């Protein structure tokens, strides 16, 4: 029953995404392709990192970045608009469904968008990066990454008091992770004190897992566990805020 209720919440967002799929695919590929050209073909030409060319090194990081942005914005921005502009989220709170079903339904659209965006970029990567490969652990890591950031987006949207709050959250949280989360450089090369701080960022663990799985390196199970832990923290946070809003 919970799965049916969650899908009922998800269905409306899926219909919107279906009507705008072509436009969504075009817009969602612009940023990762620009990063690939600028860093992979531009700054990184002729550089090797951790036994791979910089181009092959940066592709999994860009996939992690794409999953983060698409999952967060896909869930968070949509919910923020529903809450503060359309006021339709209040109707969902009064519907005869459990708060958990409502939470899952709102978060899963972020997961779907994150997987679609990442898959579209992966297809491009498979065509231009010969050493890049998609293994089962890669897919598991990608799914857990999308789950974690989708629930982070829901949490931010539930806490936001205005549309500007979402933009502020992106500037203070997502933007630093974009450039410090191991996307464009190897965390192993930074000083120990800074490394500790960078591993406090969920995107660092996502980049580490996806890169190891894509390049055939020893898989960092502790990082996969860390991403799952972040997801659990965001999930619990969403539950607490949603229960407070339902009172």
Helices 136-159 and 221-246: crossing angle in degrees, nearest 10, is 30
Of 24, 115, 20, 32, the C-alpha closest to 67 is: 115
Dihedral angle sign, alpha carbons of residues 43, 48, 50, 52: positive
pLDDT of residue 246: 60
pLDDT of residue 109: 95
Q: Where are the beta strands (DSSP E) in the chain?
A: 48-49, 52-53
Structural domain boundaries enclosing 137? 2-246
**Could you list the pLDDT tens digit for every one of the 247 residues in the chain?**
678 888 988 998 999 999 999 999 999 999 999 998 888 777 766 677 777 788 888 999 999 999 999 999 999 998 998 888 877 787 787 878 888 899 999 999 999 999 999 999 999 888 887 667 889 999 999 999 999 999 999 999 999 998 899 999 999 999 999 999 999 988 888 888 888 899 999 999 999 999 999 988 999 999 999 999 999 999 999 999 988 876 5
Dihedral angle sign, alpha carbons of residues 115, 113, 3, 246: positive
| Residue 87 DSSP SS3 | coil
Domains of the chain: total: 1
Q: State both tokens at 156.
A: 């931010």
**Alpha-carbon distance 113 to 124, whole Å?**
17
């Amino acid at each position: 029953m919970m799965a049916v209720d969650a899908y009922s919440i998800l269905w409306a967002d899926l219909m919107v995404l279906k009507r705008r799929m072509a436009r969504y695919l075009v817009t969602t590929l612009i940023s990762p392709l620009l990063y690939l050209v600028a860093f992979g073909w531009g700054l990184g030409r002729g550089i090797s990192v951790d036994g791979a060319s910089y181009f092959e090194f940066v592709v999994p990081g860009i996939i992690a970045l794409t999953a983060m942005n698409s999952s967060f914005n896909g869930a968070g921005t949509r919910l923020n608009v529903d809450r503060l502009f359309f006021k339709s989220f209040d109707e969902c709170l009064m519907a005869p469904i459990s708060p958990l079903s409502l939470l899952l339904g709102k978060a899963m659209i972020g997961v779907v968008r994150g997987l679609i965006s990442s898959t579209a970029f992966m297809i491009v990567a498979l065509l231009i990066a010969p050493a890049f490969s998609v293994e089962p652990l890669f897919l598991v890591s990608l799914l857990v990454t999308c789950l974690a950031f989708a629930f982070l987006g829901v949490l931010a949207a539930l806490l936001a008091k205005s549309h500007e709050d979402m933009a502020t959250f992106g500037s203070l949280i997502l933007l630093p992770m974009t450039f410090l989360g191991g996307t464009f450089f190897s965390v192993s090369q930074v000083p120990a004190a800074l490394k500790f701080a960078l591993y406090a960022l969920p995107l660092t663990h996502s980049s580490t897992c996806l890169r190891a799985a894509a390049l055939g390196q020893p898989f960092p199970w502790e990082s996969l566990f860390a991403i799952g832990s972040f997801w659990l923290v965001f999930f619990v946070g969403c539950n607490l805020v949603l229960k407070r809003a339902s009172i």
